Amino acid sequence: MTEDRGANRRAEAVRELTARLGHDFARPELLDVALTHASVGEGAERDARGRPFVDNQRQEFLGDRVLGLLVAERLMRDFPQADEGEMSSRLHALVDKAACARAAERLGLGPALRLSPGESKQGGRRREGVLGDAMEAVLAAVFLDGGLDTARAVFDRAWAEELATPAPRSLNNPKSALQEWSLGRGLGLPAYQVTARTGSDHAPTFTVEVTVQGVAPLTAQGRSRQEAEKAAAVALLSREGMI
């Protein structure tokens, strides 16, 4: 009986989520996959046909790319005077897991998730990583079912608050902001190192690792060394909860 009540509550949450997305799925199984966490495959749970559930990891991979395209497109429109470095910084702030999780919370995605009993008991429906990954997977499901215009409409609704919030000062000069943060904690100066350079000479991609004493290092990419360093600084500030 308890399992039935739980299933009914989740089914209602999925209906409410679908309404908030504003898209009537021709292939609802895409949304079902997007809402299925990898922990479900660790147990003995099966779908109505007795098959193991397919989790959302592949759709998360696609959704990350769809989100990046939609954010880049929006920034090109909204900030016609911004240089590549500033847009890269803004992009990283809008596509990181925290931003995705906030978008998921606004849509009420948590109650619609299919989680293993253990993950659910541990608060998975409110966990930033779980919500952020699922939001990307849902965006991919919308894209696969309705195309890019439909995904754009969902993005505009789900990220409206993020887009309306003024960019923090740290995004204007993220390397200076990271330096202030690290020095203020007695951690010394951040260090940047190019760890890879790929692509052709006229269109290279740089991978830069930023390290701060006592903090796990982090890497990011950019079309120039300076852009990659800024992206790495933004990512580290975001991970440490500074933006």
- Which residues are catalytic, by number? 64, 136
- How is the beta sheet containing 203-212 ordered, strand by strand? 191-200, 203-212, 215-222
Give the end-to-end CA distance of the chain in Å, rounded to a whole number.
Answer: 45
Q: Which of 87, 108, 100 is nearest to 15 (CA)?
A: 108
| Alpha carbon distances (Å) from 155 to 66, 90, 223 | 10, 16, 26
E strands in 39-133:
none
For the beta carbon of residue 196, count every other beta carbon within 10 angstroms. Answer: 12
> Do the strands 191-200 and 215-222 form a parallel or antiparallel pair, or are they unpaired?
unpaired
C-alpha distances (whole Å) from 32 to each of 14, 47, 73 are 9, 11, 28
d(CA 208, CA 194): 4
DSSP 129-197: HHHHHHHHHHHHHHHHHH-HHHHHHHHHHHTHHHHHSPPPHHHHSHHHHHHHHHHHTT----EEEEEEE
